[in-house]
Structure 1
Amino acid sequence: MKEWNLNDLYTGYDSEAFQQDFAALDTHINAMNALAESLGQRDPHSTLKAIIEQLSAYQTLTRRLGAYLSLRQSANTADQQTVSMNSRFQIKTSQSALASTRFQKWIAAQDLDALIPGDPLFQQHAFWLQEIRSHAAHTLSDEVEDAIGKMELNGSNAWAQLQEYMTSTVAVTMDGQDYTLSSIRNLAYSTDPTVRKKAYEAELKAYDKIKDAVCFALNSIKGEANTVSELRHFDSVLDMTLFNSRMRKETLDAMFTAIDEALPRFHAYLRHKAELLGYTDGLPFYELFALMGKSTRTFTTDEAKAYLIQNFTPFSKDVAGIIERAFDEEWIDFFPRKGKVGGAFCCNLPMLKQSRVLTNFDGSLSDVVTLAHELGHAYHGHRIENHSPLNTRYSMPVAETASTFNETVIMNAAIRDAASDEEKMMLIESTLQDVTQVICDIYSRYLFETEVVEKRKDGFLFSDDLEDIMLRAQKKAYGTGLDHNQLHPYMWICKSHYYDAGLNFYNFPYAFGCLFAKGLYAQYQKEGPAFVDKYNRLLEATTVSSVEDVAAMAGIDITLPDFWRDSLAIVETMIDEFIALSAK
């Protein structure tokens, strides 16, 4: 079993380093609270300098401890020691909420335009300081901010852990054998249509065991989000999300305008695939990932490594180098197992100049693309690892830029080098599978969450209600492309993104990332190697710029539908090519 190595963080809970750092939390929190009590007693310049220095040290410490605890819990949600230690950590860190709020209020009240030019440290943190000023209108009283921080411990954080535990431990039975939810969902990529259908049916049946518990989790998290957004004087949870994402509503509207216009072409692709597979009423949900063509190529982890390095080296030796480090230095936890969370993610560790990647690798080409995606996040982390600790947070939309760019690089390379029309058709269709997920499926998730958040204001949504909302969202997003009698009413259970109260609407950033990255890749094809430096500077700016300003660095205006239409046109051309190749 190839698992990640966390020893560079800590060798265990009983290690001297972990014990010292965990104890140091109290020291840092006490120092922050003391500084918060003394605000106004010293001159603004020295006070601001002390705040930046204390917050930087505290963030480095908590990010290291928090990453270690989170990574261990993701790898084994049933680890009681980790669950207990994580709870202790969250209780401790919640004690810094009041000081942080006071710092932000004090900063917002200062004449930053006069302070920033006079000190290199302040200039380095100019965007961070100005962002705090813009958040002032949504910052509450000290007492309320403190209460919210403590409420989340036993509210949304606890409910999220319940969803994670239920979905990672539920037994899914197929042909008398028990599978994890992750491994049964991986069977959607099986080359055997009988296996794909049986896995889908077994998956749906398993949700009956956990749907009511997870239903309460979702209701509680979205109810809390509604309460917090109202308290902070936002018009809606989406409004709060866009504000925190450094993204304007007109950008989101422009993107969805273009997506709505393009949906019929995606529906045509799905109907054509359905016809090729022998279906007459659209594609059943369990056939979304059926591979078209006769290729049965699978990858070992070593073969995946070689394939990725070979295809990324022509674009950037730096990107290829991060991929090689990730494999060689045991950054990756590859395979599904009981207790391990599903899906995939990357955790950047700037204090180590490393990352850690979790996948549920099963050897398919799609799994290799997933690795490329997550290692794109690792490369993004590499580009910002020398920033100040306070300058390492990128917002949700641009968070998917490097990851989706990586996907585009690896799939375009594979398509370009295809040995035959049949292999080329298979690779194009594999790409269309992924893009359909981040256009149609993400759109369905956006529609679902929009309705859930709105209806949660007026009452509780039972599992039947959530299933109905999900089915209607899928019908609108997938249209006539899917068989409406063979959809997936439980997609709200297995998608962890719904259960992070700090990242509501963690769906549209995937569509943004996909289309933004495709537009950037088109520029790379025009400009060649000269584009790479521009790309690196763009990634480095994602933590200290708005989404619109990041795009402007590449000469793009994302508040207009035209850019999004051009990116979607690239995909529509692939759909036409797939239909033409499959007709042969």
Structure 2
Amino acid sequence: MKKEWSLDALYKGYQDEAFQNDFKQMKELITAIKDYVGTLADIKPAEALISLINYLEKYELVFKRLYVYLALRQSTNTTDSETAALIGRLEEINSTLSKEKAMINKYIGAIPNLDQIISENEKLKNYDFMLHEIRREAKHTLSDDVEEVIAKMNLSAGSAWAMLHQYLTSTVAVDYNGEETTLSGIRNQAYDPDQRIRKTAYDAEIAAYHKIKDAVAFSLNNIKSQVNTIADLRGYESPLAMTLENSRMKKETLDAMLTAMKEYMPKFHAYLRKKAEILGHKNGLPWYDLFAPLGESNRTFTTEEAKEYLVTHFRGFSDDLADLIETAFDDEWIDFFPHQGKVGGAFCYNLPFIKQSRILTNFDNTLSDVVTLAHELGHAYHGYNIQDHQPLNTDYSMPVAETASNFNELIIMNAAINESEGKEKLALLESQLQDTTQIICDIYSRYLFESAVFEKRKDSFLFADELENIMIEAQKEAYGDGLDHSCLHPYMWVCKGHYYSEVLSFYNFPYAFGGLFARGLYAKYQEEGAAFVPQYRDILKATTVKSVEDVAAMAGIDLTSPDFWRKSLQTVADSIDVFLQMSM
């Protein structure tokens, strides 16, 4: 089994004739689209709409293939100047179509008999949801020339600042025990069973952020300023309002979820205080022990063992999911280990146009890393279930993006816990609570932090020390007395790449949404067994063509009611009660 992914299914390199031809085809399609848009006034809307869809499908396929290939190559080598240059070239070429895309959206939004035209064409019926989304979004579209300027300026603005953050965090040298390592490598030490190692690694991590914090602060300030400006120009009440509309999610749903989360925070704080007590701390848990393993489950995994473990446990849920996992390991879909220049964390890129996915992790042989693999393979399974949609129907919104990944985590962890006993059971249960606390307490702190930054950035520049203070205050509110307030993490805003996107703001609450929504679906699976699996697949498939509320309604769930979220959180509270009792 190879430890690095292969991208040959996309292209075999930059000199690959297919790569060169696709760049050429993208330019030709842009020219053709520009020419066609110029004739829209002379064509009947029904004919024009079908032609526009055909053009956009072709463009989507060629652009996505090129973009994903470049993004994947850059993620494993952020110092590759050729890749960086090609990304810049691709984005510049793509930006030349911004004016025409705005014109197309306005054209579709203004078609008076849109519903009739859709009903009379089978292909357009498949795009009913997308076309009505375009009509809704049309009111936020600016003039054609302004849309073009925004897209072009972004190349040297938000997009460039995001690349700076990625470059700095992937290349900064971390001084540790007389040697240099990476941020990904040092963060993996947070799971070490030796407290001295965890503390030393935490100190080294904090010192490394100090080297780059000022430059990263400029990245964050300018990205958030740009988003504030664009949200205002487009007539949104706030960046959050813009995010929610783009996420196909109601504010009532977010409010209901946050209401329930805040009600249950004390339960998570009780778990953290007990963990602190077990580890010998009197004033709550210091940050460096947040991921400390408890019990005696110090099991390690090779990548081969991880594959066997995952396939075995998922086979009982669904053969198609287990088969997908085998394919991912065997067909070089996964890039496993950290190294200099590779980005931190983990992600999955779905490639529906070739019916595959690619997964990046920073594997360190622990159970937590196996759970991370299960999480990312959940994204791949989500991609598997939407890959037969039409080319323009393969993007799901941020909140539902974390559904299948968290569902996978529940399957793997619950199976492992149920199979264990004694101190190993305690260790596994605590590991699950550790991860759930991240998507509740930590995600809430990130939501608070980003909300404050957007608000303060309206009229002031936030230097690194102020960003540190905002983060600390957010952590205090979210973690309460569960953490030792004298040992928090002031640089989580540097660590997490989710803040550094000019097109995806508030990529925090979707993790809480995904985790709790998945728990609700998992409860239904426990009630209904195998009969629920086909419905689960249908729900995943629908995420690209329905609002989040309508997707949930397929399972009889009302997301705007705090009661649903309370039921999901109560399942965690029950696990916390078991943990507290076992650790007495």
Cα deviation 1:495-515 (Å, max 9, x = unaligned): 000001111000000000000
Whichever residue aligns with residue 470 of structure 2, its letter is I
Give unpaired runs (5+ residues) of structure 1: none
Aligned to 1:120: 122
User: Shift of the alpha carbon at 1:570?
Assistant: 0.3
Task: State the secondary structure of the residue aligned to 1:351.
Answer: helix
Aligned to 1:20: 21
Listed as ranges, the matches of 1:241-260 within 5 Å are: 241-260=243-262
Aligned to 1:132: 134
Whichever residue aligns with residue 473 of structure 1, its letter is A
Aligned to 1:394: 396
Aligned to 2:565: 564
Aligned to 1:69: 70
Distance 1:115 1:85 in 2: 40
Aligned to 2:200: 198
User: Shift of the alpha carbon at 1:213?
Assistant: 0.5
Whichever residue aligns with residue 96 of structure 1, its letter is L
Listed as ranges, the matches of 1:432-511 within 5 Å are: 432-511=433-512
Distance 1:232 1:369 in 2: 40
Listed as ranges, the matches of 1:374-413 within 5 Å are: 374-413=376-415
Aligned to 1:186: 188
TM-score by length of 2: 0.99
User: Shift of the alpha carbon at 1:208?
Assistant: 1.3
Cα deviation 1:416-453 (Å, max 9, x = unaligned): 111x2211111100000000000000000000000000
Distance 2:192 2:204 in 1: 15
Distance 2:515 2:67 in 1: 29
2:5–2:332 Cα contact (<8 Å) kept? yes
Task: State the secondary structure of the residue aligned to 1:526.
Answer: helix
Cα deviation 1:114-133 (Å, max 9, x = unaligned): 11110001101100101001
Task: State the secondary structure of the residue aligned to 2:40.
Answer: coil
Task: State the secondary structure of the residue aligned to 2:180.
Answer: strand
User: Shift of the alpha carbon at 1:36?
Assistant: 1.2
2:385–2:537 Cα contact (<8 Å) kept? yes
Task: State the secondary structure of the residue aligned to 1:210.
Answer: helix
User: Shift of the alpha carbon at 1:274?
Assistant: 0.2
Aligned to 1:312: 314
User: Shift of the alpha carbon at 1:520?
Assistant: 0.5
Whichever residue aligns with residue 107 of structure 1, its letter is I
Listed as ranges, the matches of 1:32-47 within 5 Å are: 32-47=33-48
Kindly indicate whether residue 520 of structure 2 is the aligned counterpart of residue 519 of structure 1. Answer: yes
Distance 1:308 1:287 in 2: 27
Whichever residue aligns with residue 17 of structure 2, its letter is E
2:297–2:428 Cα contact (<8 Å) kept? no
Give unpaired runs (5+ residues) of structure 2: none
Task: State the secondary structure of the residue aligned to 1:217.
Answer: helix
The alignment covers a number of residue pairs equal to 582
Listed as ranges, the matches of 1:56-455 within 5 Å are: 56-110=57-111, 111-418=113-420, 420-455=421-456
Moved over 4 A (4+): none
Whichever residue aligns with residue 440 of structure 1, its letter is C
Task: State the secondary structure of the residue aligned to 2:272.
Answer: helix
User: Shift of the alpha carbon at 1:321?
Assistant: 1.0
Distance 1:23 1:139 in 2: 29
Distance 2:536 2:174 in 1: 43
User: Shift of the alpha carbon at 1:25?
Assistant: 1.3
Cα deviation 1:554-575 (Å, max 9, x = unaligned): 0000100000000000000000
User: Shift of the alpha carbon at 1:323?
Assistant: 0.6
User: Shift of the alpha carbon at 1:113?
Assistant: 1.5
Cα deviation 1:240-279 (Å, max 9, x = unaligned): 0000000000000000000000000000000000000000
Distance 1:377 1:574 in 2: 25
Distance 2:320 2:154 in 1: 40
User: Shift of the alpha carbon at 1:222?
Assistant: 0.3
Aligned to 1:553: 554
Whichever residue aligns with residue 144 of structure 2, its letter is D
Percent of aligned positions that are identical: 59
Distance 1:155 1:32 in 2: 26
Whichever residue aligns with residue 88 of structure 1, its letter is R
Aligned to 2:582: 581
Distance 1:2 1:121 in 2: 42
Task: State the secondary structure of the residue aligned to 1:8.
Answer: coil
Distance 2:291 2:311 in 1: 25
Cα deviation 1:368-399 (Å, max 9, x = unaligned): 00000000000000000011111011000000
Whichever residue aligns with residue 529 of structure 1, its letter is A
Whichever residue aligns with residue 254 of structure 1, its letter is A
Distance 1:191 1:11 in 2: 42
Distance 2:282 2:553 in 1: 45
